[in-house]
Structure 1
Amino acid sequence: MKIEQIYTGCLAQGAYYIESNGEAAIIDPLREVSPYIKKAAQDNAKIKYIFETHFHADFVSGHVTLSKQTGAPIVYGPLANPAFDAIIAEDNQEFKIGDISIIALHTPGHTMESTTYLLKDENGKDHAIFSGDTLFLGDVGRPDLAQKAGDITKEDLAGFLFDSLRNKIMPLSDDVIVYPAHGAGSACGKNMMKETVDTLGNQKQMNYALRADMTKEEFIAEVTDGLLPPPQYFPLNVKMNKEGYDDIDEVLKRGTKALSPNAFEVLANETGAIVLDVRHQSEFVKGHIPRSIFIGIDGGFAPWVGALIADVEQPILIVADKGRVEETVTRLSRVGFDNTLGYLEGGYEAWEAAEKETDTIESISANEFKNRMEANTIPVFDVRKEGEFLKSHLPTAHFTPLDYLNQHLAEFPNEETFYVHCAGGYRSVIAASILKSRGIHNLVDVAGGFGAIKKSGIPVTDEVCPSTLKK
């Protein structure tokens, strides 16, 4: 028996390859499916089943493409109703893979079709669970993504989740291994551990949601407390996972079309495409195409694209470093952004060589920022997340989190120069690019972010009442 976790850090997502005696199963595959097919070929195994724990919201799964290419059926748990052919498993239904078996345990709560897959080894012993978004390490799945107006509430879903955990998962042996669908950084939970594998026994000890003496009412209150609004692209990804999508090869063919600077400019004007610049922030501040949006490929790329662009049908044109175009299109497709129209051949250097209009962002060091703060009272805007701001911040900073930047546009000065910072310099440049695309140019980026600001010796505070924060 072989179990391999295939973890994708930028999505904080775990897919799984399971093989036994020439047969294999894939759980929650990513959009690009060739790695799973290659693994099976290397093991001289046939992919027999593709298991989906639920209709994912934060990424587009590769189940449809993988099924087409291998002939393996897609398996969902009870209550799933996909638009394509699939096996809708009954609760406790068994699936044989070589010498092992996988049992579908219906565990509604995160969504109504959510299912945990219990793996039994060659001796019939419970070995591991693939818990999807039902049970994370240190947390459980948020119960507000599948609610429908007038039909079911997040409190209802939290109640179902409580029952699922108590009746289906917690009775299992402490030595059962937990393989979740996500880890720290995912928006599908609140407080996940950085580890990606654990034992159920350890989770029973340290996961707040698995306390033995917890009442259902306490569980509902704690699980629903402090939930931030989900990213706008989540429902669109659910729709794609439920109804189907174009194969990744077709998306790559469209998105990797090389465009000269003139053709790039014409297409941008004709289609209203967003020009997405994925180079490093230090390069973007030195020069970029006017009104282009920066989201660097080497940061938290896909989740920020989803959070800030939101509409997966939005046409996109890419500015990237040489050799990174296919990677960019692939990572966009993972979160459902399939409408990439092409890329700037020769990159930003070709745009400059064509003597096209360019723009820059003023970016200063933390030491220079300190000098300016000491000389004058200057407006400062902190675009980090709420938890970061609460932990420590500049006393005079305005809290304008990047996730909700559009809701804060009226707060930025019209003429006075203001300063923007994040934690390390990545998100502040994203924010600056968005503000400039909306005609707000009187800004300065603080390179190195809050980390560099603290090192410069500027006084900071960690006292703030959460109720005073606006989003």
Structure 2
Amino acid sequence: MKIEQIYTGCLAQGAYYIVSNGEAAIIDPLRETQPYIERLKKDNVTLKYIFETHFHADFVSGHLDLSKKTNAPIVYGPTAKPEFEAIIAEDNETFQVGSITIKVLHTPGHTMESSSFLLMDENGKETALFSGDTLFLGDVGRPDLAQKAANMTQEELAGLLYESLYSKILPLNDDITVYPAHGAGSACGKNMQKETVDSLGNQKKTNYALNQKDKQSFIKAVTDGLLPPPAYFGMNVAMNKKGYDSFDEVLSKGLQALSPDEFEELAEHSGALILDVRNNEDFAKGFVPQSINIGLNGDFAPWVGALVVDVKQPILLITNENEEEETVTRLSRVGFDNVLGFLKESFNAWKESGKEIDSVNRISAQQFEQEIKEKDAKIIDVRKESEYNAEHVDEAFNKPLAYINKWINLIDPTEHFYLHCAGGYRSMMAASILQARGYRNFSEIEGGFSAISQTDIPVSDFVCQSKILK
């Protein structure tokens, strides 16, 4: 038997590839299926089942494409109602994969159909738990995402989650290995550990949600401090439940190379968003007017989901050369399938064509220090609230990037302000959005708070973020 965790850092998501005696199972596959097909071929095994822990909200699963290419059936837990052919398992139903057995444990609470999969080895020993979004390392699944569909409050869903965890999972043996669907950085939980695999026994000791004195204290603990879910989550659930275009078709359409003239004409007539995924340093020096910068070398896909929101939005890409396929792939993972093409030979082609370019007024932390000595300064910190509370520039306002669409209209366009994040990745996103909407009276600070903290600019006393979150 072999269990392989296929972890994708950008999404903080874990898919699982399990092989036993010539047969395989895959749990919560990513959108692009070719790597799985190649792995199956290399191992000379047949894919028997595709298990889905629930209708995912934060990414689009590859279950449909993978099933079409392999003829392996898709398996959901009880109460799931997909709009395509699938096996809807009963609670405690078992599935044989080679010499091992996988048992379905219906564990509602995160969503109503949420299920965990308990693996028993060839000797019948309970060995591994694929816990989906029911149990994370250090946390449990947020119980507020399925309220509308379930006609329940988040407190009622949290109560269901309590019953699932305390009656189905906590009685299992301590030596069972827990393989969750997500790790730190995912918006599906609030307090996840950085590790991606752990023993159930250690989680029983260290996970706050598994150490509550009663059901009411559990409900309070897991619902406290929940931030609003990203707006694209509901659209991803719909795609996972109803179906979607083949990834191969999405990739083929997105990889249309466009000359500067073709790119410009398509941008004007399609209403497409121009998405520039180069790093923030290159973007600051020059970009196509009205472009939005979300760097590929970061939490790219979740930020696209949070800031662009509408998965049907037409998109035109500006990437570094040879990064076009990776960009289209990562967009498709969160449901952004309407990529119309990319600028051939990247921004250099646009620049050499003589077309208009724009840039951001980026200054160093040292220049920032000099300027604010000489005048009253308005400073906007776009980091998360927890980062700001831990340590920030004195007198700075906290306006998290995730909520820019709510606070942008409160900005006075006639009043100059300074803009920063932790290192420049998020503040350049904010700067590009601001400029695309006509706000230009600001300076963005290179290196963000990391660079600012090396100057003599007054900052608040440091408070450990882990203490803030508790």
What range describes the TM-score normalised by the shorter chain of this pair? over 0.9
* 1:126-150 residue CA offsets vs partner (Å, 9 max, x unmatched): 0000000000000000000011179
CA distance 1:409–1:76, change in 2 (3 Å): same
Q: Does 1:364 align with 2:363?
A: yes
CA distance in 1 between partners of 2:150 and 2:326 (Å): 42
One-letter identity of the residue aligned with 2:93: Q
One-letter identity of the residue aligned with 2:23: E
Give the structure 2 partner of residue 80 of structure 1. Answer: 80
1:438-453 matched pairs, under 5 angstroms: 438-453=437-452
CA distance in 2 between partners of 1:442 and 1:405 (Å): 17
Give the structure 2 partner of residue 203 of structure 1. Answer: 203
Measure how far apart 1:214 and its partner are.
1.9
* 1:243-287 residue CA offsets vs partner (Å, 9 max, x unmatched): 111111100100010111111111111111000000011110000
Q: Does 1:252 align with 2:251?
A: yes
CA distance in 2 between partners of 1:219 and 1:242 (Å): 30
Give the structure 1 partner of residue 468 of structure 2. Answer: none
Give the structure 2 partner of residue 469 of structure 1. Answer: none
One-letter identity of the residue aligned with 1:119: L
CA distance in 1 between partners of 2:59 and 2:268 (Å): 29
* 1:197-229 residue CA offsets vs partner (Å, 9 max, x unmatched): 000000000000001x52100000110111100
CA distance in 2 between partners of 1:149 and 1:46 (Å): 36
Measure how far apart 1:27 and its partner are.
0.1
CA distance in 1 between partners of 2:322 and 2:383 (Å): 31
1:345-356 matched pairs, under 5 angstroms: 345-356=344-355
Give the structure 2 partner of residue 381 of structure 1. Answer: 380
Give the structure 1 partner of residue 117 of structure 2. Answer: 117
Normalising to structure 1: TM-score of the pair?
0.97
Residues 275, 317 of structure 1: 8 Å contact kept: yes
CA distance in 2 between partners of 1:245 and 1:145 (Å): 21
CA distance 1:143–1:378, change in 2 (3 Å): same
Normalising to structure 2: TM-score of the pair?
0.97
Residues 236, 334 of structure 2: 8 Å contact kept: yes
CA distance in 1 between partners of 2:334 and 2:461 (Å): 35
One-letter identity of the residue aligned with 1:329: V
CA distance in 1 between partners of 2:203 and 2:221 (Å): 17
1:28-43 matched pairs, under 5 angstroms: 28-43=28-43
One-letter identity of the residue aligned with 2:405: N
Runs of 5+ in structure 2 lacking a partner? 466-470
Greater displacement, 237-246 / 391-400:
391-400
Q: Does 1:271 align with 2:270?
A: yes
Residues 183, 196 of structure 1: 8 Å contact kept: yes
1:451-462 matched pairs, under 5 angstroms: 451-462=450-461
Residues 140, 189 of structure 1: 8 Å contact kept: yes
CA distance in 2 between partners of 1:196 and 1:368 (Å): 41
Q: CA RMSD in A?
A: 1.2
Give the structure 2 partner of residue 394 of structure 1. Answer: 393
Give the structure 2 partner of residue 337 of structure 1. Answer: 336
Q: Does 1:225 align with 2:224?
A: yes
Q: Does 1:57 align with 2:57?
A: yes
Residues 260, 343 of structure 2: 8 Å contact kept: yes
Residues 352, 358 of structure 1: 8 Å contact kept: yes
One-letter identity of the residue aligned with 1:344: L
Measure how far apart 1:55 and its partner are.
0.2
Measure how far apart 1:413 and its partner are.
2.8
Measure how far apart 1:188 and its partner are.
0.1
Measure how far apart 1:462 and its partner are.
4.3
Measure how far apart 1:414 and its partner are.
1.6
Percent of residue pairs bearing the same amino acid type: 62
CA distance in 1 between partners of 2:203 and 2:139 (Å): 9
CA distance in 1 between partners of 2:148 and 2:457 (Å): 48
Give the structure 2 partner of residue 22 of structure 1. Answer: 22
Q: Which runs of 4+ in 1 moved over 6 A?
A: none
One-letter identity of the residue aligned with 1:47: L
Residues 112, 150 of structure 2: 8 Å contact kept: no
CA distance in 2 between partners of 1:70 and 1:26 (Å): 12
One-letter identity of the residue aligned with 1:4: E
Count the aligned residue pairs: 464
Measure how far apart 1:411 and its partner are.
3.1
* 1:81-123 residue CA offsets vs partner (Å, 9 max, x unmatched): 0000000000000000000000000000000000000000010
Greater displacement, 44-53 / 148-157:
148-157
**SS class of match (2:458):** coil
Give the structure 1 partner of residue 315 of structure 2. Answer: 316
Residues 91, 105 of structure 2: 8 Å contact kept: yes
CA distance in 2 between partners of 1:123 and 1:360 (Å): 64
Give the structure 2 partner of residue 169 of structure 1. Answer: 169
CA distance in 1 between partners of 2:429 and 2:82 (Å): 36
**SS class of match (1:10):** coil
Give the structure 1 partner of residue 7 of structure 2. Answer: 7
Residues 49, 74 of structure 2: 8 Å contact kept: yes
**SS class of match (2:10):** helix
Residues 390, 462 of structure 1: 8 Å contact kept: no
Measure how far apart 1:463 and its partner are.
8.3
